[in-house]
Structure 1
Amino acid sequence: MASAPRKVLITTRLFDDAAARLLASRGLSVVPSGLPPDALDTHMPDADLHALLDGASGWIVGQRAVTRDILAAHPGLTVIARRGVGYDRVDVAAARDLGRVVTIAAGANDPAVADHTLALMLAVLRRLRASAAAIAAGDWRVVSGFDLTGKTVGLVGLGRIGRAVARRLAGFDVRVLATTRTPDPSLPGIAYVSLPRLLAESDVVSLHAPLVPETRHLIDAAALAGMKRGAVLVNTSRGGLVDDAALLAALEAGHLAGAGLDVFEAEADPALQGVAQRLAARSDVEATAHAAGSSREGLERGNLIAAQCVLAVLEGAALPDGCLIADGRQGTHAGQGG
């Protein structure tokens, strides 16, 4: 008698049919979360999640925290795959200790996030929000903004997305500064400087660093005070990199000209929801809800890579490049790309 197919739970939003068909074509049973299309898996009650994970070999996860308790309760859960590149909500140490594999969809959303970063830079500098609001109120006077061309742009972090942003900036005749542990000689025209110098000299500061204990509140009140007066801050990386309350204070004081924010501390700390709302309500802030990587193409790439990672682990094949974060079967642990 044939054994039942191995089960893969999908709790990430907008998991497309092509990725699901790939899993099914290799004999896996694809189990959806049952949540409404617009609901995050963070909304799923614990009891429902545990019922769905019962007997699962793989889990393609969205924003849900993957804790030691969840992993311990499901010993047959072999691989936890993130559709994105962040894994700060996954207890990687627990996964490694319990013999599980954790993967990310490396490279899937690089083009989308880089495009979104440039969109935020331009929208803040050209005051698109203020202009649209004026027209909506019947005021057709010109709202004057600033060029990106000729400015100094500072990139904090130069991983995959930081490099993609640098390549896009090449068409704007800007001076590019970067602070990174790993300079990239393949990118011409970048000056590598310390973070204090980058903050002091940049007209636009764009964050592309992972969120780890050492980078939490990398941009705090002191760092914001060290930025050039009238500069713009863009964050499409992780909310915890910026002290949002300090950023709000810097904007209210007129020290910064604006901010482009795709991520907020409130995503991980509901107590800061009020700060996020006050930031998003400002006419000098362009805000999106962690949507930079969620272009249609970016989501499709991420779904496909996550599915490929699950298949590779369950079939004993090689993982796609850059996707392995932890492999408890071998006691190895790889770092996060940017």
Structure 2
Amino acid sequence: MREPSRRVVVTQRFFDDASVAILESAGCEVVLAELPPGQADGGLSQGELVDLLQGAGGWIVGHARVTRELLSDLPGLLAISRRGVGYERVDLAAARDLGRVVTIAAGGNEASVADQAIGMMLAVGRRFREAQGQMIGGSWSILMGTDLYRRTVGVVGLGRIGRSVVQRLRGFEAEILVATSRPDPAYAAAAGVRFVELPALLRESDYVTLHAPLTPETRHLIDADSIAAMRPGAFVINTARGGLVSDTDLLAALKTGRLGGAGLDVFESESDPSLKPVTDELIALPNVVAAPHAGASTREGLERTNMIAAQCVVDVFEGRDPPPECVVADGRPGRGRR
């Protein structure tokens, strides 16, 4: 196998000097893509990506689609390192077939996303946005909010971020219900959580917070039927993936008052532009607190994920195995084609 090019293209913003230094100390040429203001790499066409990545052996990527066609057009691209933990936009089978390595920045952003999820619970429960809007309009009348303290919170998914959310919720003395495909009795005893099936979680929870990957099985986990099963006035928090929620059904439930509010960092329109009008309606509602997929975007969180992403590229270039929790596909000979 010939030595890969040590040219590394970064198509993510906020890539810090310390992470550049990790790459440069390994003999890499680092190219920081200059994207137009407001443009993310997820909006780049395959042709634009091919132009950016010509001659690169490594790519530190955000939300761009990594397709078989793209990889075929870039035969020298060996390491694809996501500065994040989702990989539903990457064709893993193609990466394995074509001998590439795909990594994620596991362990870098869970604290930042968990903080945001808790912040959104507090914001929608205490109606911060509504209260400030009234004050700006000249009214200082008090709006009645809802505690997070000792409420029932349903956590859907128990990966690194889900567990970080559980850890924080314990400080609020919340009753914590968890729905996961892999219940762990020892963890339940240690963390003081109760594992339940999703229908029971929806039925019993005051807040439902989503921390599951987006798969065909989890798409539209929250839809009209599941919302109908929830407590009237409950809150939905989604800092995971937009497709977990039917935004159209969520909008209807919020407009009718069936749900009390929502905290949303992700939207279906990120992958389906036809749903942009639904997103626009959601973020205009006074009982919705929204962010532009920014849960991991703290200075500290990005520094951590940048460094993990950079080190994974270096490991691949040096012929080493990146940390196993970071590897989602490895098509190199002798690696078991994970």
- Shorter-chain TM-score: which interval? over 0.9
What displacement does 1:73 show?
A: 0.8
List structure 1 runs of 4+ shifted beyond 4 angstroms. none
Deviation of residue 331 (structure 1)? 4.2
Counterpart in the other structure of 1:227 = 230
Partner of 1:59: 59
Following the alignment from structure 2 to structure 1, what is the Cα–Cα distance between the partners of residues 44 and 166? 39
**Mapping for residues 44-55 of structure 1, pairs under 5 Å:** 44-55=44-55
Tell me what 2:326 maps to: 323
| d(CA) in 1 for partners of 2:70, 2:290 | 33
The 2-side partners of 1:188 and 1:81 are apart by 32
In 2: Cα distance, 1:248 partner to 1:49 partner: 35
CA distance in 2, matches of 1:246, 1:206: 17
| Shift of residue 50, structure 1, vs aligned partner | 1.5
> Which residue pairs with 2:183 in the alignment?
183
Task: Give the CA deviation at 1:94.
Answer: 0.8
The separation in 2 between residues aligned to 1:136 and 1:119, in whole angstroms, is 22
The one-letter code matched in structure 2 to 1:290 is H
Question: What is the CA distance between 1:92 and its match in structure 2?
Answer: 1.0
Superposition deviation, residue 176 in structure 1: 0.5
**Alignment partner of 1:222: what SS?**
helix
Q: Which residue in the other structure is 2:157 paired with?
A: 157
Q: Would you say how many aligned residue pairs link Structure 1 and Structure 2?
A: 331
The 1-side partners of 2:229 and 2:39 are apart by 40
Deviation at 1:42, TM superposition (A): 3.1
**Is 1:236 matched up with 2:242?**
no
Q: Does the CA contact (< 8 Å) of 2:4 and 2:76 recur in 1?
A: no
**Which structure 1 segments of 5+ residues have no match?**
334-338
CA contact (8 A) 2:5 2:56 kept: no
**SS at the partner of 2:96?**
helix
Whichever residue aligns with residue 278 of structure 1, its letter is E
C-alpha deviation, 1:76, in angstroms: 1.1
1:278 equivalent among 269, 278, 281: 281
What displacement does 1:218 show? 1.0
Normalised by the length of structure 2, the TM-score is: 0.95
**Structure 1: which amino acid aligns with 2:296?**
G
Aligned residues: percent identity? 55
2:216 to 210, 213, 216: 213
Matched, 1:21 2:24: no
Tell me by how many angstroms 1:39 deviates. 2.7
Relative distance call for 1:191 and 1:229 in structure 2 (3 A) is same
Structure 2 runs not aligned, ≥5 long: none
Equivalents in 2 of 1:35, 1:258: separation in Å? 35
Output aligned runs, 1:99-248, within 5 Å. Answer: 99-184=99-184, 185-186=186-187, 187-248=190-251
Shift of 1:64: 1.1
- Give the match for residue 336 of structure 1: none
| Code of the aligned partner of 1:226 | A
Counterpart for residue 337 of structure 2:
332
3-state SS of paired residue (1:213): coil
Could you tell me which amino acid in structure 2 is paired with residue 211 of structure 1? L
Deviations along 1:62-92, whole A, 9 cap, x unmatched?
1211111110011111110000001111111
Q: Secondary structure at the match of 2:63?
A: coil
**After alignment, is 275-284 or 51-60 more displaced?**
51-60
